[in-house]
Each structure stands twice: as C-alpha cells, then as structure tokens.
Amino acid sequence: MKTHSVCFPILATLALSAAVTIANVSNNNAPRGVSPSNAKLYVPDNVNNWSCLDGSKTIPFSAVNDDYCDCIDGSDEPGTSACGTGQFYCANIGHTPSNIKTSRVNDGVCDEECCDGSDEYDGQTQCPNVCEEVGATAREENDRIQSVQNEGARLRRGFIKHGKANKVLLTNELETLRSQVDHVQLALNDARDAANEAQEAYLEGSKSEREATRKQQLEPLIQEQTKRLKYASEVRDMLKLTLQSLKENHNKNFHDMAVKGTVSGFDDYIVAQGEKTETVEDDLATLSSDRQFDALMDETSVVLRDIGTLHDLLDGMKRDYNTEYNDEAVLAAVKVTDDFEITWDSSRLDFADVEHLVLPEELPVDSPEAEKFRDAMDSAQEVFNDASGKESKVQEGIRDIERKLNMDFGPDETFAQLVDNCFDFKDTEYTYSVCLFGDANQNSHSSTHLGKFSGWEGDNYDVQMYTGGAKCWNGPERSVKLVMSCGTTTEIVSVTEPEKCEYLFKLQTPAVCPIPEGEVDEQEHQQEQQQVEEGEEHTRKHDEL
Amino acid sequence: MESGQGRIKPSKRRTIVRSVLALGLALACVSAVKREDFKTCSQSGFCARNRAYADIAKETPQWASPFQLNPSSLRLHKGVLTGDLINVQEDKQPSDKPALAFELHLLDTDAARVRINERNPIHPRYDGVQDTVLIKPYGHATEESYQKLGKDENGVLTIQYGAQNQNTVRISSAPFKIEFLVNGVPTVLLNDEGLLRFERLRKKEEPKVEEEGEKQGEEANSDPLVEQNAGGNEIEIAIEKSDLEKKLEENLWEEKFKEFTDSKPRGPESFGMDITFSGINHVYGIPEHASSLSLKATRGPDAPYTDPYRLYNLDVFEYEGDNPMALYGSVPFMLGHSKNSTAAVFWMNAAETWIDVEKSPEDKTGGILSWIKSKKTAQSAATKTHWISEAGVLDLFVFLGPTHRDIFRQYASLVGTTALPQAFSIAYHQCRWNYNNQQDVAEVDAGFDEHDIPYDVLWLDIEHTNGKRYFTWDEAKFPNPTEMQESLSTKGRKMVTIIDPHIKKDGDYHVSKEGAELDVYIKNKDGSSDFDGWCWPGSSQWIDFYNPKARDWWASQFSYDKYIGSTKSLFTWNDMNEPSVFSGPEITIPKDVIHYGNVEHRNVHNLYGTMFHSATAQGLTHRNETNQRPFVLSRAFFAGTQRFGAIWTGDNVASWEHLELASPMLLTIGLSGIPFSGADVGGFFGSPDAELLTRWYQAGIYYPFFRAHAHLDSKRREPWLFGEPYTTQIREAIRTRYTLLPFWYTLFQEASVEGTPIIRPMFTVFPEDEAVFGMDDQYMVGDAILVKPVVKSAVVQSNVYFAGKEKWFDIKDYSVEQGPGFKDIDSPADKIPVYQRAGTIVPKRERPRRSSKAMENDPFTLVVALDSKGEASGRLYLDDGESFNYEKGDYILTEFKVSNGVLSSRKVESATASGESSFTEKAGGLRIERLVILGATAPLKKVTVGDRTVQVNCSLVGGSYVCTVKEPQVTIGKDFDLSFA
C-alpha cells in the first residue's frame, strides 16, 4: 500500500487515502466492520493468505478491506462499500452494537443504526458520536416497552386463562345441552301434534262463521294496503325517472366518480330488473282474504326494496359528489333525493311514520261449541309454546357455543376474551368501528359496512381480515386489514386507507404481547389446577354478558 | 327472432338479454378511450377542406398547382431569396389580392427555411411561434458559402449551398415547386404534388356554392380522361368532383362539434402543402401518437390508417394503441431515412395540424392498386406527406444532414438542446396518486431501505393539496411538509409535488386572488371577461402564460417564502397542461379564447403547455440563491420543451400492449428533439400483475425518465409488494439502472450539446442496414447498449437482432453473440436481452447504494468491449449534478480509447474553463477501481500502467475471454495509459 502513495503523491484525498487508512486501522485484531465475535474468521493463514467465507477463493490477507471486492460473497470487504452486500459492525459504545449493510458505509448518510458515526470514516461526511444520548433514550424507551410488555403479558395470561377455562366450560355446557336435545325435541313433537289436533278440531267445528267474519275484518286492511302499494309504486317510478334523467343529462366530462358510480349502479339495477320474472298474481279476487292481504304485503315490500335500492344509489352520489361542478342534472337529482328523504326511513325500508299493517288475529266466533274447542286449542297451544321455547333455547345455546368453539382464538385461546368486543376510532371525517370476530364499519351520519371477519392472515395470530364490505363506486368491495401490536389496553390506534376502499386498522392489545418463553407451560400447569373454580367464575361472567 | 316461433319462454329471454349485456361489456373493455369525444379529420373543417383539395388533385388528370412565382420579383440577398407567389386561379377572378410573400433562407448550419405569408392581409396572421420556439436569431449563410447557378430554360433557379457545397435547391416558378438535392439526388420536394393551398383572410360573405360547382363541372366535362369513360361514369365523376368542390367551402366560419361551437371570428385561415421525401420509404417523428416508430400510411390503397396523424395537444383518457389520434404533446418534426439519404423537416406551427402520409409502393408489381395514378410514370420509392395547419404562417425548415447527427445538431441549433438535468432526476422516481399522508410517505421511504432498493424521488399527486389549490398542503395529512422533505433529504432523496395550470376560483386562495388582481387569466372570446372552466378543483381559471407579467408572477410563486412548505429538495410536476378542461370541447379549452396581445388560442394551442413548463422551470431556477438546476416534468410538450425539463407519455394502461407501445413512442419523441422522456412504469390505469410489473421495470430502467406511477383506484404496487421472486427481480433491475448512471449522465451531456437522442432507434446507429429501418421493439441506449424489452406474458426467449459485423456482450454474464442476424436469446423472468456493442467503453458505478446522491464518491468501473480490431472508445462526463457551475467549466469530461493494446484516458479540456473548479478538484481524485475487458482473443497476461504492473484475472465465458483488472490505481481526473498484452 505504501507504494501507492509514492506513485500518487498528489492524490491526498478520497478513496486512495481511505484505502491506506483502512489497512492501518484494525483495532482489537478485528478488521474494520467485523464484530468481535466474528474476529476469529478474519485471521490470515500461515502464508498470509485468507479464504473468502464461502470458500470460493483465496486472496492475500492484505486484500481484506482494501476497498476492492474480491469475493463473490462480499466477505472480504466487511469494512468498506466495495462489495456492498455484507454487514458492517458498529460498536456503538454507550448504546447497543448493530450491523448495517456495507452498502451504507461512506454513503454520506449518518445512519441512525450506527450512532457512533463509524460508518462514515472517509472524511466526506462528519457523523458525530451520539451513542450516549441515543443509548439513554433507547434505554428509556426499552424500559417503557418492557413495562408495557410485562403488563401486557400479565394481562394476556389472564386472557389465556379465561380462554382455556372458557373452552372447557363451553365444551361441558355443549355436552349438557346436546344431551337435552332428544328430550326437548320429543316433548316439542308431542306438543305440536296435540296442538294441531286441537286446532283442527276447532276449525272443523266453526268453519263458515269464521270465514264470513274474517272477510269483514280484513276488508279495510286490504283497501289500505292497496293504496299504499299504489303510492309506493309511484314513488319508485319517480326515483327511476330521476336516475334515468341523471344518466342521460349529467356532464360526463367532469369524471365525477360518485356520479359515475350511481349511474352504473342504476344500470345494474335495470339489468337486474330485466332479469326478474314478473310475478303477476292471477286474480286477487279469487283468493281468500288472508292470501289477498299477504300478496299485497309481498308486492309492497318488493316495491319498497326497490325504492331502498334506488335511494341508496342517489344517496351514495349525494354524499360524495363534487359540489363544485354545479352539474344541473346532478343538482336536480340531489334535490329530489333531499325531498324524498324527508318522507323515508331507510333503516326500516318504508316511509317514515308508516306503521306496517299486521294480519290481525282472527276474531273469536261466538258459539258455546266453538268456545269449548277453542279453550282446548288454547291450552294445547300453550303447552306447545312452552315446549318450543325450551327446544329453541337449547338449539340456540348449542349454536352459540358451537360458533364460539369453531372460532380460531389462537393456539392458546387468547382471543376468546375479545370476541364480540367492539372498538371505535374517530378521525377528522369518520368514526370507524370494529367488533372483533364480527363486523367493521365506517360511520358518519350513516353507516358503511367495511367487512365481516373472514379469518387470520399468516400464522402469527396478529393480523385479521374483514372482507365482503359494501362495494365501492368504481372499486372493490371494502375490506379491512386489522393489524395488532402489544399494548396494555385494547384499542384502535390508527385507521388509514392505503389504497382505495382497503382499510388498515391498527389495534393495540395485550392479546399479542409476547409471553416469555418457558412461562407458557408453567401457566398451563397452574391453570389446570385452578380450572374448575376459574371456570365457574367465568360462567357467571358469561351469563352476565 | 322469427315471429312464427311464437312466444319465447321467459328463461330463454333472459339468456338473450344476458348475452347482449356480455357483448356490451366486452366492447367497453376493448375501447376504453372515448373516441367520440375527439374529432376526426372530417369533423375538423379545415382538415376536411384541405383533404378534399388533395382528393381533387388526385382525381384531376395532369393536376398542376395554381401557384406560380413571379420570376421578376425574385431577389437573392445575403442568403435570403424573396419573391411574390401568385395563385393564378384566384387571379382569374376579379381580385385585388396582393400576392403571397415567399422567402427562402439559407442558414449557416446548412439548414434552409421556407416561409409563405400573406402580404397586407385584412389583419395580420399570427407569426409569433418563432419568438418562443427558436432559441436565438440564427445566422444566414454567408454569400461566399452558396452559389447561384442561374436559371435554366424552364425558369428553374438553382442554388448550391452547404459546407461542402453538397446541397442544391431548385426553385421552379410555374408551377411553384422546390426541390432539395443532396449530392445531386432529389431528397425533399415541396409542392411536388401541387397541394399547396392558402386560405386568405377575408370578410364574411354569402357563399356562392352553386357557381363554384358549375365551374368545376365544366372543367370535368372538358377533361379528356373523363370522355374516355362510359357515359354513366362520366356523370358520376362529375357529381363527385362537384361534391369535393363543395367541401372546399364547408365550415368556413362558425363550426360545431358535439355541444360546442367554435365562433371563428376571423373565418378560414388554414393552409397546407405536400412535402415529398424522395427515394425514402421510412419517415419518423411528429409525436405524440400511440403508434409505431416508422410512420404508417394514412392515404392511398391499403393504408393502415384512415385519418391523418393529428397534432393537437389533448388529454386522452386510456388512449388506444396503433392509432394516429392526437395525444398530449406535439412536435411537427419529421425525419426520413433510406440507405442512401437522410433528411428532415420542421413545420413550425403551433395551431392544430394534421399530416397525411402516403407511400409509393416499393414494388411495382402491385400496380393494380395504383391505377388512379397509372398515367404517371412509375416512380422510385417515395413518401409523400401532406401538412395541414389551421392558422398562422407557413414556416418550414429543411435539414439535409447529410448524417443523422448533422440533422439533430442543425435542428437543435434552432429549437435548443435538452437542458442538462439534475443528476437525481435520471435515477428512479416513485410516484402514486396518491401517497396519502406523511406517515404513508415515511413508510414507503422506509420500505425502500428495508428491501434495499435504491430510489431518489418520492412524488405527491393532487390529493396532497388543500382542495386542489396548488402551492398549498392538506394540513391534516401533511402537517409538516418541510420536515418530511428534510427527512428524505438526509438520505439524498428529493420530493416532487404537482402544480397544474388551472387555478381554483376562490377569493380566499392567494394564487387565485393575486391572479385576478394582476389580470393574468385567459380571456373569453369577448377579450375582456376571464375564461372559466372545470377541472380537478371545480370552477377554475387558466393562467395566460403568453402574458410576460403572468410568467414572471407565476415563476415568483416558487420562491420559498411564497410556496410555504417547499424546500431546496422539492421539485415540480406540471400536469393537465394541454390544457385539460373537463367542460371544454375535446376536453380542452375553446379555440376562440383570447391570450395576451389579442392572440386567439387557436394559433398557439400546442405551445400552451410548453409556455407553462417554461415559466415553472424559470420559477425553480430563480427561487433561490443556491445556483440549482430546475427539474420539472410536463405532460404537454412542443418543439423546444427539451429546454425546460422532462416529459412522460401520460395516462397509459397497465397492459402488455401499453408496455410494448412505450418503446416506439419514446423513440419517436426522442428523435424529435425531446430525449428526456419516459412512460409510467407499471401503467397508470389498472393493476398490473407481478409479471407485467416486473417486465415493465426491466424495460423502464432503459427509459431516459424512469418513474413508476399508479392511479388512485389501482392496487398498491411498490416494488416489494408482490413478494419473491419479484422483489429480487425488480431490485436487480433498478440497481442495474443505478450502476449505469454514469453512462446515462454522459449521454445526457452529449444530448445537451449535440441534440442527439439518448435512446436511439436502431436505424440511427446502423443507417445502412435496411433490416432495422422499421424496427422499434429493440433499440440502443447511446451507441453502446442494445435493449430488447420483453412485452408479452410467459416469454422465456426473445428474438434479438444483432446488427453489424461485430460482437455483442451480455451486460450481466458477458456471454457473446456475433452479428449480423436474428437470434433467439433466453429471456427468463429475471432478465431481458441487453447487450454492449463491441468497440464501446461503458463507465459504471457498481456499488449498490440507496440513492444516486449516495454514490457521489464511489469509484468507477469501465467495461471495455473490444471490437475485432482490438479497439474501443467511450467517454465519461461528470459534474456536481445539481448546479450551473458546469457552464463555467467545472466538470470532468474524459475520453477513453483503446488501440494497439493501450487504453488511454484523456481529459477533454473545457472551452469555458474559468474560475470555478471546486467540483473538478474534488472529483478528479475519484478512481477507476476496475476494468472489465471483453473480447480479447487470448487471456491477458500482463497489464501495466507506466512501469507498474497491475493485477489481472481472465476467465473464459462462452468462447471469449473476460479479463478483470483490479485497482489500476488511476483516476478520472488525470490522463493515463494502461497497456495490456
């Protein structure tokens, strides 16, 4: 190396001089950039040669860190950027040692990971040694994280305890319930038979009187419902007309996505309409009063659903359209929507302040014979209702437990604690909510479904997917990726939309705090001992919920 | 459906409905561009009129141009020939119209200029394009440098000119025609087809259509050819001609398109002329079109296109491939090339322009196709073009070379060369509509470091602003833009924000308010009220960059104290500058709006975007005292745009077709004087799959401007999001770009001096090889590197053409191919064919770094590819990459040459060296750490520099030796000789 400086006395700067320095700077026997633990790999053989770490080549030991890449694996240049593929060791005294990519050595950037500044030694960039401060801050931060993790782990152990106990408990409960199924089923069947018999007897005994009474009773209701159907049909046609006119007259040059979405949604609607086979009732008059009424109700609800769909289209546009375009066709449609919305209750899919007509109970027919039959029928019905109640309670219980047992709460049942727990997050525009293992929504003045829990992503039990949410205009169905990190409380810390209609929820929760290794088994052991009493406690809690 | 079949069951009916729907859907997918929003030639009055004139000429036997030069009016003085041009047809009628003024200028660069203008029109025709497009008053040929050879018996005036007297121009008076000859061979012919037409400005009067028709009818009847035909035909032809004659008088004044009316207060003022490239089959240029490099015929039998190529800057949504429709930019420059000659023309006009291309059949056996022209004698190959502009004056430059390099230099001496860019701007740019907030920016930035992928610039699209008010920030999303830019800047990275020319109409918005106060907006046709249209922010106004006050005011908006939140590392993106007006005709501004100086927009439309681009570049240059070069990307462009920054090919689509289209489009734009261009990697609309994205990166690293961009509705696609093996493949591609940055920067410097393209069509490097004249699926970077992008799915082999008789070396594994000829080359998922040509030396920096800035102090590698004579040459240009100090000579330009076993390095001394030399002093010590010598016939045994022996290792790769010289201990700042044997 010395010969070089003789040959190039003028080149006092930069790389050549750097190369000269390198050869001389090899502290603690380890060449620059090599960690103390790897120092033994960088020792010359007896003829002062050295082999690349992958064994591919033997070079003079002087070629190590000579700022020229000899080895294919880059192992000869741990202290320079010549190969750029290896690791450079920063001692970071006062903080923690670290390895950075050798491609970041002498690149003019004071790498954060290399707080001692040893990565920039060519004299082009001065990197102060900030390890003392960085170290202190890091230690503080470490302490904080450590205490969060400790607390988180403690809480998580509780989750696990709960989850495991709960699972046993639910399994037991399920068994109990299942053992009751045959019994309640049998009782229900018997009761049903008895009730049917009693009813038949009653009907046979009072047929003609009942029919006459019934017709009189339902007449005004049928008239009322016919009126409602007519009105609803008119409203639907008006909304269709509004959308048709929007479609034809809006200014396509504005590329307003909200308007485009509504128009294409309307096209879809029309197509769907075209595909429906018209179910025209033959002749209402020939039907019994009950069936007439039912048919009217059915038809009305079809029309109301249509109105709901059309309103959704208009409302979607109304919420998102660009108010600055002043497109007359759009403004007209918005006006219609505004006027219409006063009269409409979208949660019930019906006009506001309208109560649904309900098919009334048959009026009792006055005759002692019939009365007797009816009393018998009523008491049989009561028995049946009771049996049916018991049966469905058992079935419901089974379904609920099965749902929970089928859920993947992680290998240690941590997430049983959080099932159906709901969390909100407010940003400037919206409030986002998620019920874990349930649904995610975006709420402002109305609610948009972002997706339903569809499973875990990866094997770490810290990322959940919620999919199949409301479809975006000109985009996919909305979905949520929920990413969890360790915290002492469970809450949403941020919500973003990295790409259109695909949301990212960040949730902190003890459920993903690391539990120190080895502790888990111990926990399990303890848990088994306590299982029974814990289980009982949790049952009480569960019932309260 | 037959009625006899009776009723169709509902289920069947449903099926029918479905299939119709499916068909509709399929059609919608194929044709994404809304063709009906844009005019065809027949919907554009002046285009239809001039085309009808060409039809008349074609169908009239022995057609002769009615234009004649008045021989007694001709004067030749100091390189300029002037005279009166008369339309004898017009003169038949009682007319007191003065003749047209004709000028022919011979330039000191051997170029020629032809101008035709009205003398004493009722109001002046717009002649201001030259003021903004030409960089400086050019010099005329000195009187000693040309020779007037006098008139021959036919009144043809001949002048010989050019440095070697190689050029001749022959001017015929009756009919008017100009022929340019190179070494006696006719090359460029003007009005040879007699299509010159010049609509004189006039007062509006009632059209006399009938009279005209009658007159034409008489002429047709007296035509001997028609008389030969059967009686029935005679009438038919007569009627047709009369229809054509009528077409000449259509849409002269008010003109409608869709719901828009162009008021055209000055009436018709279009003109057209034919330009023939004699003996030339291939013509190139006139960007921007989504079409092939070699232009296709738009006229004549078998023409692939029915409409002419159109130049009218427009915002075209999801444009279609293989189409002459107008796009975002226009350069009326056309170059013709054959084995024997090369010539070019520049039609200096910024109004709407259409160009028909017609090719004479190369092979005369297809004579049946040209029966109409049968009376004309069989001609040699020629490409006939017909240029039609809506307004202004006819102003044409003719460049006769004789080589491509001469033409590029001649053209650039008029419109300027590309500005030497900021070094970072030729590295990799990461863009998306939109990076949502500061957090998003930080995460993407960190993602590059985490995956060890270099990048230099992060871009913010329109959503970063407060309600599309440019020069503002959405404070909720970007609360601290300065900090954000500084954080990128510590790693040598920059940021670009978008700034568009439409200004939201909002009294509380400082730019809008100042603009109104200074009265700098484009006016309605009444000339007084401000034009108001629709764009991203809603109701908007457009700045009139023709107003000098507006330009200076606009430029001042970029100063740090005006553009709050901007820093030294923030640069600019000018979009929507065609201009795009959502509520306007063809999505642009109406032609009758008024600019400063009472100039109608129709005269300057194609220049508007460039004026904006130029004012922005001026703003960035003057925003500080730090002597920094600007960087501004523009979508619209015109001749001269290269002086202000880069352009890209606009809103392309994530499809294989658009990946394929990018090469011919960029080659065309490059040879038309704008070398700094790129296409959005990945495709703007839609979501590419991993394979397409990877292939696009592999191709995109060889675009002069290299940026990935994506639409708001598309899936995220940062380079690591598809996982392995794609992340590694994309990383490898981007790193390859970074290793070649010294080579690219050297090419940019050459372009900035010589006007040469950076990526070059094969025919410019191999001008005598006819096999490459139509080739646009492979191309050269400089003269050294051959690139053949893979543009189809599931391809593992590519058919590559190796031109010339020398070897080609794979730039990755140094394997060798021998030219000439086609060969199937492996192109597996991780590589596309890229070869270094024997005889070249390519400078590289091979150390992986995270940004180009981080490579500044890195040593170099020279890859020396020896040709069959054992020779090679190359160069390296280096400066500080950001300041204007290179203008004071503070740069290093080194030429490398190998001959007789010696590699010599010689510094080219700067002619302007003065004072500033801090960079030269600092970088002169940068060493060449490695030489890779390819093509040696035997392993090198000894390498020496002076009396010092240098280590060399050779290995055999596919029958050829690859020798690596380690640490020759030489620098780029000092001359050396390195011998090898």
- Taking the C-alpha atoms of residue B792 and residue B147, their distance in angstroms, rounded to an integer, is 56
Question: Percent of chain B beyond pLDDT 70?
Answer: 90
Q: Please tell me the predicted confidence (pLDDT) of residue A24.
A: 38
Q: In this structure, what DSSP letter does residue B724 have?
A: T
C-beta neighbour count of A173 within 10 angstroms: 18
CB B412 within 8 A of CB B406: no
CB B681 within 8 A of CB B653: no
CB B272 within 8 A of CB B386: yes
**Is A66 within 8 Å of B10 when comparing Cβ atoms?**
no
- Picking from B938, B951, B937, B946, the residue whose alpha carbon sits closest to that of residue B979 is B946
Give the residue on A whose Cα is nearest the Cα of B450. Answer: A101
- Taking the C-alpha atoms of residue B69 and residue B100, their distance in angstroms, rounded to an integer, is 9
B969 interfacial to chain A (CB closer than 8 Å) = yes
Number of CB pairs, chain A paired with chain B, less than 8 A apart = 112
CA trace torsion B748, B753, B757, B760 (10° rounding): -80
**Is B18 within 8 Å of A275 when comparing Cβ atoms?**
yes
- pLDDT score of B365 more than 50: no
**Chain A closest CA to B531's CA: distance in Å?**
16
Show the tokens assigned to A369.
């014979």
CB A76 within 8 A of CB A70: yes
Least confident of A524-533, B23-32, B509-518: B23-32
pLDDT digits (tens, 9 = 90+) for B408-434: 999 999 999 999 999 999 999 999 999
CA distances from A481 to A491, B27, B719 (A): 15, 35, 20
Identify all chain B residues contacting A277, using CB atoms and an 8 Å cutoff: 10, 14
Measure CB to CB from residue B848 to each of A103, A254, A496 and give the nearest one. A103
Least confident of A4-8, B137-141, B497-501: A4-8
CA trace torsion B239, B240, B242, B245 (10° rounding): 170
Q: How confident is the model at residue B32 (pLDDT cuts 50, 70, 90)?
A: low
Q: Is the peptide bond before B434 cis (omega within 30 degrees of 0)?
A: yes
Q: Please tell me the predicted confidence (pLDDT) of residue B207.
A: 54
Q: Please tell me the predicted confidence (pLDDT) of residue B163.
A: 87
- Picking from B618, B952, B887, B940, the residue whose alpha carbon sits closest to that of residue B753 is B887
- pLDDT higher for B30 or B743? B743
CA distances from B9 to A277, A345, B4, B13, B14 (A): 10, 38, 14, 6, 9
Q: Please tell me the predicted confidence (pLDDT) of residue A15.
A: 41
Q: Is the peptide bond before B887 cis (omega within 30 degrees of 0)?
A: no
What's the angle, vertex CA B245, arms to CA B239 and CA B250, rounded to 5? 120
- Picking from A491, A471, A472, the residue whose alpha carbon sits closest to that of residue A482 is A491
- Taking the C-alpha atoms of residue B866 and residue B854, their distance in angstroms, rounded to an integer, is 31
Q: Please tell me the predicted confidence (pLDDT) of residue B779.
A: 98
CB A455 within 8 A of CB A483: no
Dihedral sign for Cα atoms in the order A450, A451, A456, A458? negative
Q: What is the ipTM of this complex?
A: 0.85
Concatenated DSSP letters for B285-343? E----SS-SSPPP-SSTT-S-SSPEEE-----TTPPSS-----SB---EEEEE-SS-EE
Measure CB to CB from residue B440 to each of A66, A254, A498 and give the nearest one. A498
Show the tokens assigned to A420.
């159906």
* Most confident listed range (A12-21, A372-381, B66-75, B460-469): B460-469
Q: How confident is the model at residue B26 (pLDDT cuts 50, 70, 90)?
A: very low
Identify all chain B residues contacting A8, using CB atoms and an 8 Å cutoff: 969
Q: Which helix (H) or strand (E) holds B180?
A: strand B177-182
- Taking the C-alpha atoms of residue B151 and residue B156, their distance in angstroms, rounded to an integer, is 5
411-440 in chain B: CB under 8 A from chain A: 436-437, 439-440
Q: Please tell me the predicted confidence (pLDDT) of residue B361.
A: 67
CA distances from B261 to B239, B251, B256 (A): 30, 11, 4
B597 interfacial to chain A (CB closer than 8 Å) = no
What's the angle, vertex CA A140, arms to CA A136 and CA A145, rounded to 5? 145
CA trace torsion A387, A392, A398, A401 (10° rounding): -130
Show the tokens assigned to B530.
């401000």
Identify all chain A residues contacting B317, using CB atoms and an 8 Å cutoff: 255
Block means of pLDDT (10 residues each) for chain A, 545 residues, are: 36 39 51 94 95 95 96 95 95 94 95 94 93 93 93 94 91 92 90 88 76 84 91 93 91 80 88 68 69 89 92 89 83 91 86 84 73 83 91 91 89 90 90 94 88 93 94 82 96 90 94 81 52 46 41
Q: How confident is the model at residue B301 (pLDDT cuts 50, 70, 90)?
A: confident
Amino acid making up residue A157: R
**Is B854 within 8 Å of A101 when comparing Cβ atoms?**
no
Identify whether B575 is a catalytic site residue: yes
- pLDDT score of B12 more than 70: no
CA distances from A415 to A157, A407, A419, A458, B946 (A): 11, 9, 6, 16, 75
What's the angle, vertex CA B182, arms to CA B181 and CA B184, rounded to 5? 70
CB A481 within 8 A of CB A465: yes
- Taking the C-alpha atoms of residue A164 and residue A417, their distance in angstroms, rounded to an integer, is 10
Which CB contacts under 8 angstroms, 24+ apart, belong to A515-518? Answer: A515/A153, A515/A156, A515/A157, A516/A153
The residue behind tokens 């002037």 is B82
The mean of the pLDDT values for chain B is 90
Give the residue on A whose Cα is nearest the Cα of B969. Answer: A4
- Picking from B490, B495, B500, the residue whose alpha carbon sits closest to that of residue B478 is B495
Q: Please tell me the predicted confidence (pLDDT) of residue A77.
A: 97
Task: Give me the catalytic one of B193, B578, B600, B879.
Answer: B578
- Picking from A501, A508, A461, A459, the residue whose alpha carbon sits closest to that of residue A480 is A501
Q: Please tell me the predicted confidence (pLDDT) of residue A280.
A: 52
Q: Which helix (H) or strand (E) holds B668?
A: helix B656-671
User: B181 forms bridges with which residues in the sheet?
Assistant: B168, B186
C-beta neighbour count of A139 within 10 angstroms: 13
Interface test with B, best of A81, A88, A504 (most B CBs within 10 A): A81
- Taking the C-alpha atoms of residue B761 and residue B783, their distance in angstroms, rounded to an integer, is 10
Show the tokens assigned to B842.
């390519």
Give the residue on B whose Cα is nearest the Cα of A3. Answer: B948
3-state secondary structure B423-438: HHHHCEEECCCCCCCH
CB A344 within 8 A of CB A257: no
Least confident of A282-286, B43-47, B140-144, B463-467: A282-286
- pLDDT score of B698 more than 90: yes
Identify all chain B residues contacting A70, using CB atoms and an 8 Å cutoff: 966
Per DSSP, helices labelled H in B558-655 are 605-622
**Chain A closest CA to B730's CA: distance in Å?**
17
User: B897 forms bridges with which residues in the sheet?
Assistant: B873, B904
Identify all chain A residues contacting B720, using CB atoms and an 8 Å cutoff: none
- pLDDT score of B374 more than 60: no
Show the tokens assigned to B242.
């009369």
CA trace torsion B835, B840, B842, B843 (10° rounding): 170
Q: What share of chain B is helix, strand, coil (3-state, %, to 5)?
A: 25, 30, 45
Q: Please tell me the predicted confidence (pLDDT) of residue A471.
A: 84
Q: How far, rounded to the nearest angstrom, does the alpha carbon of residue B902 sit from its chain's CA centroid?
A: 40
Q: Please tell me the predicted confidence (pLDDT) of residue B612.
A: 98
Identify whether B651 is a catalytic site residue: yes
Q: What angle, 0 to 180 degrees and rounded to 10, lies between the N-to-C axes of helices B741-754 and B726-739?
A: 50
- Taking the C-alpha atoms of residue B249 and residue B252, their distance in angstroms, rounded to an integer, is 6
Q: Please tell me the predicted confidence (pLDDT) of residue B716.
A: 94
**Is A66 within 8 Å of B492 when comparing Cβ atoms?**
no
pTM of the model: 0.81
- Taking the C-alpha atoms of residue B762 and residue B765, their distance in angstroms, rounded to an integer, is 5
Per DSSP, helices labelled H in A351-467 are 368-406
Identify whether B84 is a catalytic site residue: no
Q: What angle, 0 to 180 degrees and rounded to 10, lies between the N-to-C axes of helices A328-343 and A289-320?
A: 140
Three-class SS state of B6: coil
Amino acid making up residue A419: V
Q: Please tell me the predicted confidence (pLDDT) of residue A261.
A: 85
- pLDDT higher for B740 or B302? B740
What's the angle, vertex CA B229, arms to CA B224 and CA B234, rounded to 5? 85
